[in-house]
């Protein structure tokens, strides 16, 4: 069967054939209640070697409910902003659901096709080809219709709603940004749904500004990898390093950070700053750094690949603006032993003043410069804040808790459907 250039599937390795093609060998692994579950690592190896592996029944489901087949929908924006969290979630769900499929318009998300995780990639749905492309996506899901559809961001809500309507699936909206709340407020979907919020500020805003009932909303904080000890200022006589991963846009505060660095250099502080974001304002910000005489002390670098490694080597992480969307990189910074500086008013609840981070009240270069200077002058304070952040993240942002709570929502919805069947 010819590959559809606008929509195709991949299992594990993106080089695998498109949907509609099957290898000659087909293996069914049957598990019954009370029996050991099939090893997903073995299944992943079989998929990579070219075998199609299908779990007929999953022993983890509640008696009387169907096995959970999850379709996770995501767009390019949430993939780039939330990639580390998505990876942890996918890995954790492999052993918790009978089948999992990612539905995405981001070809980069093929990196998440781990073992038995199938990825359906489609071109953007826009007029005049929207209906035809959507139909192709729905047809690709027909061999194993999802029982639950998990939409990870506003950009994926529309296709998630279409899938849930087509296959009478339960629908979960993930809220990680203000724009997600605004999109959900406009939704007209009438099927069974739940909402997962990634922070308390997002949950509170959702409940107070939309008609979503509070009982349909769950708070599940994203999980990240944490180190054991603070790493900031741990190497004597080394030049201090400051890092930000904020996008290079006009509204993220990177220009204020450059001005703050200029102020600190005028006070004879010396340190290196790494700007790991990307965006349309990069040229203007490079020019600003050059005009302020910072060409050798401010380094622009792309965030791909070595972001976490760069974080481990940095002393201070700065989030120069109040974030309107939760970024995995900010959460990673809190868990990786750096001293963090944030701005009051964002959507995070992990930035706790003087416990997990220094929080500035006003978004201007002067207050930002004062906060950085405070940490450069007092390494003990920096390590104290970094230690508090690590402990907080280990308590409230573990990967195991994120996966377990997400699976609990999936199972609650499956049990509700089995107990109270939808009427047609």
- Taking the CA atoms of 144, 12, 161 and 224 in sequence, report the sign of the dihedral they define: positive
Locus of tokens 């308590």: 395
Predicted confidence at residue 198, as pLDDT, reads: 98
Q: Which superfamily does 7-223+399-419 belong to?
A: Glycogen Phosphorylase B; (3.40.50.2000)
Q: Are strands 339-343 and 316-318 parallel, antiparallel or unpaired?
A: parallel
**Least reliable range by pLDDT among 27-41, 150-164, 287-301:** 27-41
> Cα-flanking dihedrals φ and ψ of residue 261, to 5°?
-65, -40
Distance of CA 414 to the CA centre of its chain: 24
Residue 10 has pLDDT above 70, yes or no: no
- pTM of the entire structure? 0.83
pLDDT at residue 64 in the model? 53
Mean pLDDT on 206-224: 96
How is residue 114 written in tokens? 């781990």
Cα dihedral: 211, 415, 199, 195 (round 10): -30
Where does the pLDDT of residue 41 fall: very low under 50, low under 70, confident under 90, or very high at 90 and above? very low
pLDDT on residue 420: 60
Residue-wise pLDDT tens digits, 266-300: 999 999 999 998 899 999 999 999 999 999 999 99
Whole-number pLDDT of residue 222:
98
Mean pLDDT over 229-237 rounds to: 91
- In angstroms, the CA 363 to CA 359 distance is 10
Sign of CA dihedral 328, 84, 221, 398: negative
Domain ranges across the chain: 7-223+399-419, 240-396
pLDDT above 80: residue 178 = yes
What is the pLDDT, as a whole number, of residue 134? 94
pLDDT at 31 over 90: no
Is residue 304 pLDDT above 70, yes or no? no
CATH, domain range 240-396? 3.40.50.2000
Other beta carbons within 10 angstroms of residue 232's beta carbon come to 23
What's the confidence (pLDDT) of residue 36?
42
pLDDT at 310: 61
* 91-125 confidence digits (pLDDT tens): 999 999 999 999 999 999 998 887 888 999 998 88
Decide if 7-223+399-419 and 240-396 have a common fold: yes
List, for residues 185-196, the tens digit of each pLDDT value. Answer: 999 998 889 999
Q: What pLDDT is recorded for position 65? A: 62
Residue 118 sits at φ, ψ, to 5 deg, of -95, 145
Burial class from Cβ neighbours inside 10 Å (0-12, 13-18, 19+) for residue 222 reads: buried
Predicted pLDDT at 129:
87
- How high is the pLDDT of residue 125? 86
Among 49, 58, 53, residue whose Cα is nearest residue 93: 58
């Amino acid at each position: 069967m010819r590959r559809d250039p606008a929509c195709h599937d991949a299992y594990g390795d993106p080089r695998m054939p498109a949907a509609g093609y099957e290898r000659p060998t087909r293996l069914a692994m049957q598990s019954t209640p009370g029996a050991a579950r099939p090893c997903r690592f073995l299944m992943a190896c079989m998929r990579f070697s070219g075998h199609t592996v299908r779990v007929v029944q999953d022993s983890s489901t509640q008696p009387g409910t169907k096995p959970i087949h999850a379709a996770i929908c995501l767009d390019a924006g949430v993939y780039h902003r939330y990639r580390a969290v998505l990876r942890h979630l996918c890995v954790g769900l492999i052993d918790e659901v009978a089948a999992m499929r990612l539905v995405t318009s981001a070809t980069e998300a093929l990196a998440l096709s781990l073992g038995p995780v199938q990825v359906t990639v489609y071109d953007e749905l826009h007029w005049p080809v929207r209906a035809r492309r959507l139909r192709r996506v729905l047809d690709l899901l027909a061999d194993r219709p999802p029982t639950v559809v998990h939409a990870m961001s506003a950009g994926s809500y529309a296709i998630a709603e279409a899938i849930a309507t087509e296959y009478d699936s339960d629908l979960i909206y993930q809220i990680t940004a203000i724009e997600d709340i605004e999109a959900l407020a406009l939704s007209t979907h009438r099927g069974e749904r739940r909402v997962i919020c990634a922070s308390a500020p997002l949950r509170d805003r959702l409940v107070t500004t939309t008609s979503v009932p509070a009982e349909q909303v769950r708070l599940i904080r994203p999980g990240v990898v944490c180190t054991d000890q603070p790493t900031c200022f741990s190497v004597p006589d080394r030049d201090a390093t400051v890092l930000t991963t904020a996008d290079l846009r006009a509204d993220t505060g990177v220009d204020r950070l450059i001005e703050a660095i200029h102020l600190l250099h005028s006070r004879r502080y010396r340190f290196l700053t790494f700007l790991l974001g990307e965006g349309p304002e990069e040229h203007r910000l490079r020019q600003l750094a050059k005009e302020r005489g910072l060409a050798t002390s401010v380094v622009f670098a792309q965030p791909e690949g070595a972001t976490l490694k760069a974080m481990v080597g940095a002393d201070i992480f700065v989030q120069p603006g109040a974030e309107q969307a939760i970024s995995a990189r900010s959460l990673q910074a809190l868990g990786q032993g750096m001293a963090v500086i944030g701005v009051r008013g964002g959507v995070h609840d992990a930035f706790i003043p003087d416990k997990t981070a220094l929080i500035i009240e006003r978004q201007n270069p002067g207050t930002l410069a004062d906060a950085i200077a405070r940490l450069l002058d007092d390494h003990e304070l920096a390590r104290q804040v970094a230690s508090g952040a690590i402990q907080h993240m280990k308590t409230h942002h573990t990967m195991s808790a994120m996966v377990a709570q997400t699976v609990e929502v999936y199972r609650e919805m499956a049990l509700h459907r089995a107990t109270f069947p939808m009427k047609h």
